[in-house]
Amino acid sequence: MEPIKHTIMSVVAAFVLCCCSKNFIEDIKPADGTISSALIFTSREGVENALTGIYEIIRDYIPPAGKQNMHGWKSDQLNFDIRTNELIADPANWWNYENNWSDNAYGGNANSVRNLQIWSLNYKVINNANAIIQKTVAIPESQAVRDSLVGEARSLRAWAYFNLVRIYQFGYARDTMAPGVPLYTLPSDGASEGNPRASLRAVYQLIVSDLEAAIATLGPNRSGKYRINRNVAQGILAQVYAEMALANPALWSKAYSNAAAAVAGFPLMDAAGYNDGFNSVSNPEWIWGLPFNAAQSQSYAGFFGYLEPTAITGVPGRYHDLYINTSFISLFSPTDMRSQFLPAPNQDPSSPWKKWVTLKFRDNRSQSGDYILMRSAEMILIQAEALTWEGLLQPAIDRLFMLQHRRDPYALPSGARDAYTLIGEILLERRKELYAETGAAYFDLKRYQLPLIRDGNQWSLLQIPATDNHWRWQIPQSEMDTNKSLSAADQNPL
């Protein structure tokens, strides 16, 4: 299985890369600047370094040559946001193929470079987490310390499998026994021949098992917001249960309880925080994020380099080629603090999509803004969604209004009288609150089996039915060629 055939020494290599460079973690590093497999799995410091290496993979995976918009998981999330209806990519610049769902190097077809990058990134996280889970039992620490380190690794493994299974198959509610992705719970080596695709049910069972075990051993403390603590694990599990509960409504109570626990200690940001550029893990609402410094800037090729308008921020030398759809802007009231849209500085009658830009994301002048991965607003919306499907309409309206009123002092509570109307309002609020952050709108369409219907000033007015095979990415061809457990019949059709 080519993308995950890594020995323990390949795990070490990733950690050496992260710890010998100017990493975003400064507190854990070997005294002489190098690591060995003996150091990693004989001390707490070694395992901490191993975990640091996994976060480095998530943050800064090296892109293929010439593919400037494939920097780490954040670029992959943006790829899915651009596939919906809120953002518009300049058709003459980066992201135009994602905007148009093209079957090329940037799409979900078997030979796509982006496809392989997504597959490889997540399976590297899984393989390295498997090594930590297997080897940490040997370090000379208390059982509580070992359990906490293993819990963090299990959370990372669950997070990566959740990413994969949502990309390479339709939503869980459509068919729980549909083929998902290959499962691995031990580190792979050069002799690994690959595993078959496990069912969605089996993949989700492992995800839930990992996260439940992690929550039982993790605490609230951590060395930085890039690390998974109990709150983050609960937040991931809330997202997982929100997917599964559409097939098994009994799970909505677990989605609610985990989302409610995840926000403890992370209050909703005020207007000043919302208008501060979404670029700092110091924001009190951020539950999980990846910090940067000036030496680690991804400059023009990083996340901020595509979204922020250079004429407004004054940060030069970047692409600034993503615009906001007029139909999306019309959803916001003028008093909503999230209504941060300005006329595009480069408007052109021949390019009607160049009409609006967002001020939501603004890098600082050192071009080292932090990357957001999870915050409290999403957890509150999961609570409202869960309460709705449990038949608790008024508590759901109250929970939704708590967020709405925080964002807009003139907002009014929902007047919905049935669950379906209220769910529509919650999904709309998720679009307004989470746009361009984590691909939430794309994955909401998948889990609810809804079509993509473009409107507004989009240049690519696609209509993608919920049953279209493009929602389900193909297994990368290199995986099909090297995994001896897969045959042509295992490939997702386009």
Domain that holds residue 236: 71-274+375-487
The whole-number pLDDT of residue 66 equals: 52
Distance CA 337, CA 171 (A): 33
The whole-number pLDDT of residue 20 equals: 34
The whole-number pLDDT of residue 114 equals: 93
Taken as a whole, the chain contains a residue count of 494
Joined together, the tokens standing for residue 111 give: 């030979």
Q: For position 256, which CATH number holds?
A: 1.25.40.390
The whole-number pLDDT of residue 368 equals: 76
Is the Cα torsion angle 216, 221, 222, 225 positive or negative in sign?
positive
Query: Total domain count for the chain?
Result: 1
Q: Give domain status of residue 88, yes or no.
A: yes
The whole-number pLDDT of residue 369 equals: 87
The whole-number pLDDT of residue 39 equals: 57
* Residues linked to residue 182 through DSSP beta bridges, in sequence order: 197
CB 242 within 8 A of CB 255: yes
Rounded to an integer, what is the distance from CA 190 to the centroid of its chain?
Answer: 29
Q: Give domain status of residue 236, yes or no.
A: yes
Angle formed by the axes of helices 376-389 and 230-244, nearest 10°: 40
Name the stretches of the chain with pLDDT < 70: 1-39, 61-70, 190, 293-301, 310-318, 365-366
Tell me the pTM: 0.92
Write out pLDDT tens, residues 425-446. Answer: 999 999 999 999 999 999 999 9
Q: Give domain status of residue 313, yes or no.
A: no
DSSP 3-state helix, strand, coil percentages of the chain (rounded to 5)? 50, 5, 45
Question: What spatial distance separates the first Cα and last Cα of the chain, rounded to whole Å?
Answer: 22
Q: Give domain status of residue 433, yes or no.
A: yes
CB 251 within 8 A of CB 212: no
